[in-house]
A and B are shown apart, each in its own frame.
Chain A
Amino acid sequence: MNNVFVYCELEGTTVAEVSQELLTKGRKLANTLGVQLEAVAAGSGIVGKVEAQILPYGVDKLHLFDAPGLAPYTSLPHTSILVNLFKAEQPQICLMGADVVGRDLGPRVSSALHSGLTADCTALEIGPHEDKRAGKTYENLLYQIRPAFGGNIVATIINPENRPQMATVRSGVMKAEILDPDYKGEVIVHDVAKFVPETDYVVKVLDRHVEKAKNNLKGAPIVIAGGYGMGSKEGFDMLFELAKELHAEVGGSRAAVDAGFCDHDLQIGQTGVTVRPKVYIACGISGAIQHIAGMKESGIIISVNSDPNAPINAIADYVINGTVEEVVPKLIKYYKQNSK
């Protein structure tokens, strides 16, 4: 009872990286709270296939739901599984990935349980809270920390009264670390029919087409990111050229994505990909908190910006004061000249 739960997302019988990252975080939260870590996975033909991808992260109890209608994911059956399981198990915390599945499932579950949910957290901590007006103090609440309001502020959200405290986190924000390859956790295979009524299987997936990610932003040692200052889609071509030379991946800020300068799946930041490259070259990016949340742990940060007061310059190791049109071609030119 009152344990930390992580919903593990599956593609077939493969556990999503974001789920393993959350299991790692969940283990740490459970240790702080002195409780157990439990995981939930639902899919089709998964028993015997997913345990070894989940238990080593320090999972004490794994709840498996295996039935033909549970994959591919649809909202209603997975909601019923979590809602009914949580009513019985009364978790204090539930974490899930802030991707398409987690952002479809989390709110539905939170609505059914009348519990609070915070989307796209960039940090999770445990701490106390004093409600001076009500004269109440709370211990061991989950601090759900996220940039808010377009990334202009950082908010700490708490759910003092309602349980579970639910949060979604984007892929790459937390780090996955195996606790013990032989970690002994209990596996419970549940009777799906006891959790999911037949009427839940009303949405049918007629066709499904998933491709491996076209880019390797998350794991790239060098990332070149363009912002609104790149000016156009054509402006980004320059970055791809530099990336080719440096064997780097190209990303973009939200402003660049919104303006149509680059694809949505290249977005770096709180609501995009979080990167930790050895070198991060920010071109024409002013640096909203929302963007910085997704790249601040980069090794060396180089900022190319015509505005010497761009906020990103404050966290940069190197600042080049100049326009991208002038500087990027020079980076390409002198890299070519000096690397040979």
Chain B
Amino acid sequence: MSLKIVVLAKQVPDTRNVGPDAMTPEGTINRSALPAVFNPEDLNALEQALRLKDQNPGSTVTIVTMGPPRAAEIIREGLYRGADNGYLLSDRAFAGADTLATSYALARTIEKIGVPDLVIGGRQAIDGDTAQVGPQVAQKLNMPQVTYVEDVLSCADGKIVVKRHIDGGVETVEAPLPVVLTVNGSAAPCRPRNAKLVMKYKRAMAPMEMPAEGLPYAEEYEKKPYLTLGQLSAADVEADLAQCGLSGSPTKVKAIENIVFKAKESKVLTASDADVESLIQELLANHTIG
């Protein structure tokens, strides 16, 4: 059974490696100081999609990502690993979207490019940690969902069986296709880039990344249509602008604080034997420990 699979992936600032320059003195985020990366759990999702493709010849894996022009990098990274094609969903109208407005735009896109058998995304993105977009897309597409997926055990006869993580344990569930899955970071890691695919797709670009004039290797783009990545605007997916971006977001940020903790009167010790022993003796004497 060949499958049509959409992988939802996001380019995120790498919040795992935040240096002291990540915040401006005014307390806002210094995005330029943070490298943009493929959201880690979306890579786990991509791997599950590619495995299903390997097991079901004739299947296709399509990457869908929403973001600024540079987010096309996510599609290229997907192609390097075995995805078939991708769409960059990019429009100023999407700016400031919360999870609900994001899920609206993604669901409209999926409907526009053709409802697949499976939509697979990471459980959550490291810049927000909400885990909300997957279930919200599922609801908007009127598909069932299975979240916290660890492994796909089988996929046949219009049904998928997956192992999922639950609090304090694991669950095996069966769901009918089409279905939305969100994949945990503890699932199998994504395969590395394939050198041949890197060669094939390294010049792939979304139209909005291309310079207005003087596109290098212009003739290649004419000969190889796969080098021009899919690109969709709000109008292309017939999105209702009232449901997009900031205006489509029920949640608003009222305040952002760069928290400064009130310093306690700390007792500062060295690592010397005398200091450590006197601390232990003090804590034992006042029954803090022991």
Residue ranges of A at the interface with B (Cβ–Cβ < 8 Å)? 72, 74-76, 79, 99-101, 103-108, 110-112, 114-120, 129, 143-144, 148-162, 202-213, 222, 246, 255, 258, 264, 270-271, 278-279, 288-289, 292, 296, 299-300, 302, 308, 311, 313-323, 326-327, 330-331, 334-335, 337-339
**Given A101-B167, A104-B148, A278-B288, A153–B259 Cβ distance below 8 Å?**
yes
CB <8 Å contact, B266 and A316: yes
Q: How far is the CA of A296 from the CA of B259 in the complex (A)?
A: 13
Known: A75-B135, A202-B144. A292 touches B27 (CB 8 A): no
Contact of A103 with B147 at beta-carbon distance under 8 Å, contacts A111-B103, A321-B270 already known: yes
8 other A-B residue contacts (CB within 8 Å) besides A153-B27, A204-B175, A335-B284: A75-B146, A79-B139, A103-B132, A153-B256, A206-B161, A211-B168, A321-B270, A330-B271
> Is the CB–CB distance between B23 and A334 below 8 Å?
no
B279 within 8 A of A: yes
Contacts of A100 in B (CB 8 A): 147-148, 165-167
Q: Which residues of B contact A75 (CB under 8 A)?
A: 135, 138, 144-147
Q: Is the CB of B258 within 8 A of A150?
A: no
Interface assignment of B264: CB less than 8 Å from any CB of chain A: yes
B14-22, B49-57, B86-94: which lies at the A interface?
Answer: B14-22
A74 to B23, CA, bound (A): 41
For the complex of A and B, the 5 pairs showing the least CB-CB separation, nearest first, are A322-B271, A150-B15, A116-B250, A210-B169, A116-B251
- Of A208, A255, A335, which contacts B169 at CB under 8 A? A208
Q: Which A residues are in CB contact (< 8 Å) with B174?
A: 203-204, 206
How far does the Cβ of A61 sit from chain B's closest Cβ, in whole Å?
26
6 contacts between A and B (CB under 8 A): A112-B139, A154-B258, A203-B176, A270-B129, A300-B283, A302-B279
Contacts of B250 in A (CB 8 A): 110, 114-116, 159, 161-162
Complex contact A323–B271 (CB within 8 A): yes
* B259-A143 in contact (CB<8A): no
Expressed in whole angstroms, the Cα–Cα distance for A159 and B253 within the complex equals 9
Residues B144-163 near A (CB distance < 8 A): 144-148, 161
Secondary structure of the A contact surface, majority rule: mixed
Name which residue of chain B comes closest to A309, CB basis.
B20
CB-based contact B267/A150 at 8 Å: no
B264 and A316 contacting across the interface, CB-CB below 8 Å: yes
Residues of B within 8 A of A115 (CB): 250
User: What B residues does A339 contact at CB under 8 A?
Assistant: 284, 289-290
Are the CB atoms of A110 and B254 closer together than 8 Å? no
Contacts of B283 in A (CB 8 A): 279, 300
| Residue ID in chain B nearest A161 by CB atoms | B250
Chain B residue contacts of A160, Cβ below 8 A:
252
Enumerate B205-230 residues with CB–CB distance to A below 8 Å: none
Among A103, A299, A330, the residue within 8 A (CB) of B273 is: A330
Q: By CB atoms of chain A within 10 A, which of B132, B165, B263 has the most?
A: B132
B99, B144, B267, B281: which contacts A117 (Cβ < 8 A)? B99
Q: Are A156 and B254 in contact (CB under 8 A)?
A: yes
Min distance, Cβ A40 to any Cβ of chain B, angstroms: 18
Q: A208–B18 Cα gap in the complex (Å)?
A: 38
Query: Does B36 interact with chain A (Cβ within 8 Å)?
Result: no
- Which residues of chain A have C-beta atoms less than 8 A from B136's C-beta? 107-108, 110-111
What CA separation (Å) do A103 and B18 show in the bound complex? 26
Bound-state CA distance A148–B256 (Å) is 9
**Inter-chain contacts of B281 with A (CB < 8 A):** 334, 338
Q: How far is the CA of A336 from the CA of B18 in the complex (A)?
A: 38
CA distance A157 to B257 in the complex (A): 12
B256 — which chain A residues lie within 8 A by C-beta? 148, 153-156
